[in-house]
Amino acid sequence: MSTSITLTRPDDWHLHLRDGAVLQAVLPETARHFARAIVMPNLVPPVVTGAQAAAYRDRILAALPDGMAFEPLMTLYLTEDTDPDDVAAAHASGLVKAVKLYPAGATTNSASGVRDFDKVRGVLERMAEIGLTLCMHGEVTDHEIDIFDREAVFIDRVLDPLRRDVPGLRMVMEHITTSSAVDYVRAAERNLAATITTHHLVINRNNILVGGIRPHYYCLPVAKRESHRLALVDAATSGDARFFLGTDSAPHVDAAKETGCGCAGCFTATNTMSILAEVFDREGALDRLEGFTSLHGPDYYGLPRNGDTITLTKGDAVTYPDKIASGDGPVTVFDPGMALHWRVA
């Protein structure tokens, strides 16, 4: 049984860093372990243009504590007014690594997202030409669709038609939560990959709802039943290069979570690597952890793998803070509900 494992330094292919005081507080939690992250653009107002992405990148780098290295991989928030030339210029300059599609109303700060896909066809075709990846929040927003079915319906109504319409477009279906998504990605021969979060490998919907409502387990897409969690664990630990880590670590201050209408998002940056090592260890798949956290992502995005490593060691239960303090109030760290034994050395 191994008690130590060394991995190429990981990257996070879906991360919310926010802005201002919360950015300042949460950035070190990611930068401590991760070299790079695809940074989500759902700020208020959203990061729509190349100029906005450049300014946000500068704010992130300014918030990085001295002595820490971290490369934010910037994304643009796709709107029906997005200018294909601006997107192409932001990509050509190396600033932007992906464009993010939010169906309007799907999640936190998604009101400026897409309602009519015909209006973004031109941008998507341009992205296919230049090889720029589309990251998708894969849920429909129709009121008549049950929230637990919104991902599966997105695949049928949006993703599958879009892949036929713009076959050259490279896509990432983000934070997948269902066996339908796992099966769909496995069946795709090219140009489709999926990220899986830390928390969806650990919780199912019972964790949110049994014995009282637990706002810190509420995220979008919402966790599904246990059979889906097991499908996600199977995909993540399978070694299939189409699946890789996107934590979707999504900090909200406690006051915004613990209220009558709480925000969606689990904050997992602090203990993600310990949780993942525990999950992969339990599956007897520690040898596949590096692929999931460090190799499949850069390979899919056509970026170099990181040159340095991190080492995790197994021992007594790991301790980590319950909350991270920020200038706007505390942010609760995700509780995986199990003892963790792997710590980053």
Given the residues 160, 248, 328, 335, select the one marked as catalytic. 248
**Is residue 248 annotated as part of the catalytic site, yes or no?**
yes
**Continuous H helices in the chain:** 20-31, 50-63, 84-92, 121-130, 150-154, 160-165, 179-187, 205-209, 226-236, 254-257, 272-282, 289-290, 296-301
Q: Is-contact 5 316, C-beta < 8 A? A: no
Binder of residue 108, out of Zn ion, ligand NCD, none (CB less than 5 to 8 A by kind): ligand NCD
Rg for the chain (alpha carbons), in Å?
Answer: 19
Nearer to Zn ion, 39 or 127 (CB): 39
DSSP letter, residue 249 = B
The one of Zn ion, ligand NCD, none whose footprint includes residue 137, by CB under 5 to 8 A per kind, is: ligand NCD
Provide CB contacts within 8 A for 182, sequence distance 6+.
176, 194, 231, 232, 234, 235, 243
Instruction: Write the binding mask 244 to 263 for Zn ion: x where contact by CB under 5 A, - elsewhere.
Output: ----x---------------
Q: Which residues contribute to the site for ligand NCD (CB under 6 A)? A: 16, 42, 107-108, 137, 219-220, 248, 250, 263-265
Token pair 């934010």 is at which residue? 72
Q: In terms of CB distance, is 248 or 281 closer to Zn ion?
A: 248
**Residue found under tokens 């949110």:** 208
| 11 lies in the binding site for Zn ion (CB under 5 A) | no
CB 142 within 8 A of CB 170: no
- Which residue, 101 or 310, has its beta carbon nearer to ligand NCD? 101
**Smallest gap from residue 218 Cβ to ligand NCD (A):** 7
Partner from Zn ion, ligand NCD, none contacting 124, C-beta within 5 to 8 A by type: none
- Give the C-alpha separation, 200 to 77, whole Å: 24
What is the smallest separation between the CB atom of 71 and Zn ion, expressed in angstroms?
19
Q: Which is nearer to ligand NCD, 41 or 298 (CB)?
A: 41
Sorted by sequence, the CB contacts under 8 Å of residue 340 that are 6+ apart come out as: 271, 274, 275, 277, 278, 317, 318, 320
**CA–CA gap between residue 307 and residue 327 (Å, rounded):** 34
29: partner contacted, choices Zn ion, ligand NCD, none (Cβ within 5-8 A by kind): none
Comparing CB distances to ligand NCD, the nearer of 137 and 314 is 137
Out of ligand NCD, Zn ion, none, what residue 17 binds, judged by CB under 5 to 8 A for its kind, is none
- How far, in Å, CA of 66 to CA of 223, rounded? 37
- Applying CB under 5 A, the span of 86-94, 156-164, 228-236, 242-250 interacting with Zn ion comes to 242-250
Dig out the tokens for 196 from the structure: 């899986």
| Residue carrying structure tokens 């109504």 | 157
Which of positions 27-86 make contact with Zn ion (CB under 5 A)? none
SS (H, E, C) 68-133: CCCEEEEEEECCCCCCHHHHHHHHHCCCEEEEEECECCCCCCCCCCECCHHHHHHHHHHHHHHCCE
Per partner kind, with CB cut-offs from 5 to 8 A, the member of Zn ion, ligand NCD, none near residue 42 is ligand NCD
Residue 63 contact among Zn ion, ligand NCD, none, beta carbon within 5 to 8 Å by kind: none
**Closest approach of ligand NCD to the CB of residue 77, in Å:** 11
- Between 100 and 296, name the residue whose CB sits nearer to ligand NCD: 100
Q: Is 12 in the site for Zn ion (CB under 5 A)?
A: no
We find the least distance from the C-beta atom of residue 338 to Zn ion, in angstroms, to be 24
Looking at the Cβ atoms of 102 and 342, the one nearer to ligand NCD is 102
- Catalytic residue list: 248
| Site of interaction with Zn ion (CB under 5 A) | 248
